Structure 1
Amino acid sequence: MASCSQKTTAPTAETAATTQTAEAVESTAPPAFEVPVEYYKLDNGLKVVLSPDKTAPIVTVAAYYNIGFRIEPKDRTGFAHLFEHMMFQGSDNLGKMEFIQLVQKNGGILNGSTRFDYTNYFEIVPAHKLETMLWAEADRMKGLNITQENLTNQQGVVKNEVKVNVLNQPYGGFPWLDMPQYANKNWYNAHNFYGDLEDLDAASLEDVQSFFKTFYSPNNAALVIVGDFDPAQAKQWVEQYFGGIASADLPEPADLTEPRQEKEQRFTKDDKLANKPALAFAYHMPERNTPAYYAMGLLDQILLQGDDSRLHQALVQDRGYTGSVSGGINAYLGNMYNYNGPMLWMGDLVYDKDVAADSIINVLDQEIARLQQNGVTQQQLDLAMVKIRSSLYDQVSQLYGFGKADLLASFALFDDNPARINELEAEFRKVTPELMQQTIQEYLRPTNRTILIINPQAQI
C-alpha cells in the first residue's frame, strides 16, 4: 500500500467553499433511525425480540409463525389461512372466543393474518396486561383445541369469506390474488392461496393436528414485545410461559425459486361483476436484501408512489386515463420488507372503456424508457430517498407499535437479525444513479413483465 504523505497545502477558495458545503450538508442530514432491539432465543428455539418504548402506557405482543401461503401443503390450498382462523377457537385454558374476550375486556385490540411467508397474531393492550397476553399466547402455542366441530365451523367461515371477498365481488382477487398465479411458474408462488373450495372441504382433522404440531412450534416462531415494559421482567415471563413448550422437527424448506422470465406474458380475465376494464402489470423483483432490491424500492417511489410519481402524473394528471394508480412491492399483502422469497413489483388501475389497454401499456413503456435514456439524477435519487424514509417511518409508527413489531418479527424470522430495522436507511443510501440504471435495464425490461387485463361483463 502506498504511504500517505503528511504534506499539506493551503485550501483554495474553491476547496474551502466545497468543504463548507459538505459540512453544511452533513450538519443538516437527518438523524440516524434507531429502534431499541434486544434479541435472544429460548432453549426450545423461540426467537424473542424486545423493543422498549415509553411513549405511551401500552404494549404490543406479536407472535409470528414461519408458515404462510407459499409453503402450505399441495392439494390443501388455503390451509395456512384456514389455520389462522383455528387459532381463535380455544386452547387448554381458554375456551372458544375467550382469547378475543380476554383482550377486549382489558381494553385492547387484536388481530391475525396470513401472508406469503408468515401467519401472525398480535394484541395491543394497556401496559400492565403484558403478563396476561404472554400467558394467553403461550397457552394456544402449547395446546390448541382442535376438534371436528371447530374445524367444520371454520371451514364454513373461510369458504364464506372467499365467496364474499373474491367470488362475489367485482375485481375480486384482482390483482393481489390473481397476478401471482399468472406471473409465477413455481406452484408454491403461483397457487390460489386463498383456497379452492374443494381443497378447504377436503381438510381433515388429522391434517390440522399435523399442521399445528409442525408449524406452530416455538422453533418456527418469533415473539416480539414492543412498548412500555421492563425488559428484565418481560424476559422472566417469556421464559416462564414459553420456555417449557416443546420444539418440533421442521421439514426442509420448500424450493421457492422462480426461473428468469424471458418473454412478456399477457392475460385477459372475464369479470361478470365488473363494469369497467382494469389492468395490472407485474415485474419480477430482484432477490431480497441485494443492492438491486434497494434500488427497486427507490424506483417504486419514483414511478408509482404518491401524486408526484411518474405514472400518476402520466396516467392521471396528463392523460386522464384513470382516477388513480396503486401498487408497489408486496403492496397488497404487506410491504417490501415483510416477505421472504420471490416477489413482484405490481401496479393496477381501473379505466374507462373508451381507453385502449395498449395506450396504458405504452405510457408505462414510455416512462420506463425515459428513465433508461435519461438516467436517474442524484437529485431525483435524493427525493426518492426522502419519500422512502417517510414511508419507513410511517410503517414503524403504524397502529400503536404494531408496524414496528411487524418489521422486527419479519427480520427475526427471515434474517435472524431484527436489528436490521436500523440498517435499512443506510442500505438505501448506498444506491447510486449507476445502480439505478443497471436495475432498470435488468428488472424493468418488457420481457420481465406480466400484464393482466380485466374484461368487464356486468350489464349496466
Structure 2
Amino acid sequence: MLAAGVPAAQPPTRTSLPGTSATFSVPVVYRKLPNGLRVVISENHTAPVVTVEVMYRIGFRIEPRNRTGFAHLFEHLMFQGSEHVNKFEHVRIVNENGGTLNGSTRFDHTNYFELMPSNALELAMWLEADRMRSLKITPENLQNQKDVVSEEVRVNVLNQPYGAFEWLGLPQRANTNWFNAHNFYGDLADIQAATIEDVQKFFDTYYAPNNAVVVVVGDATPDEVVRLAEKHFGGIASRQLPPRPDIGEPPQSAEKKFSESDKLARTPALAFGYHLPDRMTRDFFALSLLDPLLVSDESAKLYQALIKENQIASEVSGGFNYGLGNNFDYNGPMLYTFRVDYRPDLKGDDVLKVVDKVITAVQEHGVSEDELRQAKVNFRSSFLENLEGGFGRSDLLAALALYDDDPHRINTILTELDRVTTAEVQTAAKKYLVPANRTSIDRRPEGGTK
C-alpha cells in the first residue's frame, strides 16, 4: 500500500530549451511508502541496465562532535556485512552478477549505488534493504575500517601537496558554525576514538527509511520498482528522527585572509571562496550562470585575465560545492570556491587584485546578452550530459527528493535558469562577489619555492 495523500504518477514536465523548439524531459514517478521511504523511478529502456541508488539524509556536516570524519567512516562500515550478507559479500555478489557499486559521503547526504543488468534489479534492492534493516559490525571490523580511513586521510590529505586546502581547509576558515567549519575528513584521534556504541547509535538515528530515498533509473517499470520497494523495504520500521541542528551561517562582514606554509608543495596556490545565496533562489540561479563565464574553459573571464593577459597563473578552476559535488546536491551553507596556481615570484594578493578587477567589471557593466545566452547553452549542455548516465540522473533525482520533496524539479531547473536576466546576474555579483564576503588561503611552499 502507498502512503495516503501521495499523488499518482505525473507525466514528465516538458522543458523548452533556450533558443530552440526542442523539448527535454526526464520520466519521473514519485512514491512514498507508509514507513516514509521515498521511491523515485525514471524509466529508460534504451539499454538493459538499471542504476539503484539509496541516499540517506546524513552527511559529514552534522556528524557527532568529537567524532570528526565519522560519517565517512560509517560509509565504509556499511560494506562490512548485514544480517544475510557477510563481510565482502555485497561487493562479490554485485560483481558476480555483472554489476559495479560504490558509495560516497557528502555535506548533507551519504549515498550507495549499484549499476546492474536489469534482470538483477531485485537483487540490488534486496542488498540495499538488508543493510538498511540490519547492519552487522564487530569490534574487529570497526578497528579495521578505522585504520583504513586513517590511512586514506594520510594519503589524500596529510601526505599530499596542498592538503586538499581548497575543499577541506577553506570551509573551516570561512565558516563559524561548527557544523560547517570542522574537519569533515576527520582528525586521526577522532577517527580512532569511534566505538561500537557510536556506530550503533548513528545507524539507529539516521539509517531509517523515513530518512532515505531509493532511486531506480533505467530498464524497469514504475509498477515493478514500487512492488519491489514494498516487498523489501516496506517492512523496515520508521524511526523518530532527531530535530535537525541549526546549521545557519551568520553573514560575513569582513574579508578573511590566511597564509599557510606547505612542506610538500613546490609552487604556491591560492584558494578563495564567497558565501553563496540559499540553494534554488533567484540569486543562486543567477550566479550559477555567471559561473561558466568566470571559470569554465579557456574563454572564461578569469582564465583570460589570469593566464592569458597577465600571465600570473598556470591554472584556475572553481565552482559551487567545489571538489565534492554540484550546484544541487547539498542543502545548507555553501561556498563558491576557486583555486589558482600562480607564479612563485608573486603573492596571493597579486592574484586577488586581478580577480577583483574581473569581478568589478561584471558588477559595474554587467554581462552582455550574448554572454548570458552562451552561459545558458554551456550550463544546459553540462546538465544534460550529466543526466545521460544512470548515476548522474539518479543522484540528482535523489537529492531533489530528499531535500526538496520534489524530484519532478529535474524538469524545471533549465526553465528557471532560462528566466535569469543580465540584470539579475549583475545584482547577484554586486551582492555576493565582494571582498567582505570572501575568505582566502594563500598556500606557499615552506622555505620558498622548490
CA contact (8 A) 2:283 2:428 kept: yes
Determine the C-alpha separation between the residues in 1 that align with 2:159 and 2:19.
53
In the TM superposition, what whole-angstrom CA distance separates every residue of 1:404-451 from its partner, at most 9, and x where no partner exists? 000000000000001111110011111111111210111011111111
Determine the C-alpha separation between the residues in 1 that align with 2:179 and 2:18.
49
Of residues 180, 189, 214, the one that matches 2:171 is: 180
Determine the C-alpha separation between the residues in 2 that align with 1:27 and 1:297.
16
Tell me the residue number matched to 2:140.
149
Tell me the residue number matched to 1:277.
268
Q: Counterparts in 2 of 1:204-243, with a 5 A limit?
A: 204-243=195-234
Tell me the residue number matched to 2:383.
392
Determine the C-alpha separation between the residues in 2 that align with 1:440 and 1:351.
24
Determine the C-alpha separation between the residues in 2 that align with 1:92 and 1:199.
28
- Are 1:411 and 2:400 counterparts? yes
- Distance apart, 1:285 and its partner CA: 0.3
In the TM superposition, what whole-angstrom CA distance separates every residue of 1:203-244 from its partner, at most 9, and x where no partner exists? 111110010011111000000000011221221111100000
Q: Counterparts in 2 of 1:41-440, with a 5 A limit?
A: 41-397=32-388, 400-440=389-429
Give the counterpart letter for 1:115 in structure 2.
Answer: R
1:204–1:30 CA distance, 2 compared to 1 (3 A): farther
CA contact (8 A) 2:56 2:207 kept: yes
Unaligned runs of 5+ in 2: 1-15
CA contact (8 A) 1:276 1:350 kept: yes
Give the counterpart letter for 2:417 in structure 1.
Answer: F
Overall identity of the aligned pairs, in %: 51
Give the counterpart letter for 2:144 in structure 1.
Answer: N
Tell me the residue number matched to 1:20.
none
CA contact (8 A) 2:94 2:116 kept: yes
Determine the C-alpha separation between the residues in 1 that align with 2:56 and 2:285.
26
CA contact (8 A) 1:372 1:440 kept: yes
Give the counterpart letter for 1:76 in structure 2.
Answer: R
CA contact (8 A) 2:380 2:414 kept: yes
Q: Counterparts in 2 of 1:3-22, with a 5 A limit?
A: none
- Distance apart, 1:30 and its partner CA: 4.9
RMSD between aligned alpha carbons? 1.4
Determine the C-alpha separation between the residues in 1 that align with 2:228 and 2:141.
30
Larger radius of gyration, structure 1 or 2?
1
- Distance apart, 1:373 and its partner CA: 1.7
Determine the C-alpha separation between the residues in 2 that align with 1:339 and 1:294.
15
Give the counterpart letter for 1:191 in structure 2.
Answer: H
Of residues 415, 420, 430, the one that matches 1:441 is: 430
CA contact (8 A) 2:312 2:343 kept: yes
CA contact (8 A) 1:33 1:425 kept: no
CA contact (8 A) 2:17 2:415 kept: no
SS at match of 1:166: helix
SS at match of 1:223: strand
CA contact (8 A) 2:363 2:427 kept: no
Q: What count of residue pairs does the alignment treat as equivalent? A: 434
SS at match of 1:453: strand
Determine the C-alpha separation between the residues in 2 that align with 1:448 and 1:52.
43
- Distance apart, 1:347 and its partner CA: 0.5
CA contact (8 A) 1:155 1:201 kept: yes
- Distance apart, 1:456 and its partner CA: 0.7
Unaligned runs of 5+ in 1: 1-24
Q: Bigger CA drift: 183-192 or 434-443?
A: 434-443
Determine the C-alpha separation between the residues in 1 that align with 2:22 and 2:183.
44
TM-score if structure 1 supplies the norm length? 0.92
TM-score if structure 2 supplies the norm length? 0.94
Determine the C-alpha separation between the residues in 2 that align with 1:190 and 1:120.
22
